[in-house]
């Protein structure tokens, strides 16, 4: 079993999943980097999976598909950006040779965003980041993202490793610590990420349980987060509206 990631551009990640000869690339936004990642592990992916259609994740897909003869799978809700061979709309499981994945529909950052779950790992694209969540500036809708957090992500197992589409941990943790200066878990995570960056290494993935301890979008009821939301949206009892208010605060940070 192979699970690997590689950074491209400043902060994007492409992922490789393989079980024996059955391999898939997730979000090969940079075709050269994606093909090099597969070659480094000696596999020839037959599938390309997308967490969503934004060009920084899906823009390399056609070239990688042509180079490998691979099939492209993604959610048709993002058809304005790309045309996958296989539409993941309505699919909650995938069997790609020996690769068995769960697919969680996760609209909000884009209409067709999905979370891909494989062997204890959750590939979250631009929906859930380390210590943050995706913005809704390009085809997204904050209230839908809120419902994804409250209804899709909230019930998931805390042991899942979180593998996002970007490393935005440092600015996200700065925002989180602005809301909760006394959050020791967030300070620990920030130190861990900064040590990795200074060493030229990749930060270790977090888990969903660790995200629940540091990520304000999973902590609407934590006192510091709740107080900031209450200043922006006084007397708002509805969790979707409070999430939307928090997303707007992050947009202005
Ligand atoms: Zn995106």
Q: What is the pLDDT of residues 58-105, one digit of tens each?
A: 999 999 999 999 999 999 999 999 999 999 999 999 999 999 999 999
Per-residue pLDDT, 208: 99
- The H or E element spanning position 251 is helix 239-252
Per-residue pLDDT, 40: 98
User: Which of 127, 107, 106, 102 is closest to 117 using CA atoms?
Assistant: 102
20 CA → ligand 1 middle, Å = 30
Only one residue has tokens 């970007």, namely: 166
Q: Is the pTM of this model over 0.85?
A: yes
Per-residue pLDDT, 19: 98
Per-residue pLDDT, 118: 98
182 CA → ligand 1 middle, Å = 31
Domain that holds residue 144: 2-252
Work out how many domains the chain is built from and give that number: 1
Reported confidence tier of residue 144, pLDDT bands at 50, 70, 90: very high
165 CA → ligand 1 middle, Å = 8
Percent of the chain with pLDDT over 90: 100
**Coil/strand/helix, residue 226:** helix
Write the CATH number for 202: 3.60.15.10
Per-residue pLDDT, 42: 98
Q: What is the pLDDT of residues 211-224, one digit of tens each?
A: 999 999 999 999 99
Per-residue pLDDT, 206: 98
Residues 6 or more apart whose CB falls under 8 angstroms from that of 178 comprise 253
4 CA → ligand 1 middle, Å = 20
- Give the tokens for residue 61: 């897909």
- Give the tokens for residue 52: 């969503």
135 CA → ligand 1 middle, Å = 8
Whole-angstrom Cα distance, residue 50 to residue 45? Answer: 14
Mean predicted confidence (pLDDT) in 117-143? 98
């Amino acid at each position: 079993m192979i699970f690997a990631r590689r950074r491209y551009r400043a902060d994007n990640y492409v992922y490789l999943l393989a079980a024996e000869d059955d391999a898939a690339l997730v979000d090969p936004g940079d075709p050269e980097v994606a093909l090099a990642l597969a070659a480094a592990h000696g596999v020839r992916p037959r599938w390309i999976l997308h967490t969503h259609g934004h060009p920084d994740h899906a823009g390399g897909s056609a070239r990688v598909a042509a180079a490998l003869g691979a099939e492209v799978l993604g959610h048709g809700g993002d058809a304005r950006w790309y045309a996958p061979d296989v539409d993941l709309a309505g699919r909650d499981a995938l069997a790609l040779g020996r690769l068995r994945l769960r697919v969680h529909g996760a609209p909000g950052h884009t209409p067709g965003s999905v979370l891909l779950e494989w062997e204890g790992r959750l590939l979250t694209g631009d929906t859930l980041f380390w210590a943050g969540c995706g913005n809704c500036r390009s085809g997204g809708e904050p209230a839908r993202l809120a419902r994804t957090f409250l209804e899709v992500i909230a019930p998931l197992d805390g042991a899942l490793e979180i593998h996002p589409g970007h490393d935005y941990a440092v600015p996200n943790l700065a925002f989180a610590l602005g809301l909760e200066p006394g959050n020791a878990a967030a300070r620990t995570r920030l130190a861990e990420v900064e040590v990795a960056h200074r060493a030229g290494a990749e930060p270790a993935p977090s888990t969903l349980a660790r995200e629940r301890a540091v990520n304000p979008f999973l902590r609407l009821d934590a006192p510091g987060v709740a107080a900031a939301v209450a200043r922006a949206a006084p007397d708002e009892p509805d969790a979707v509206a409070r999430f939307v208010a928090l997303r707007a605060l992050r947009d202005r940070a």
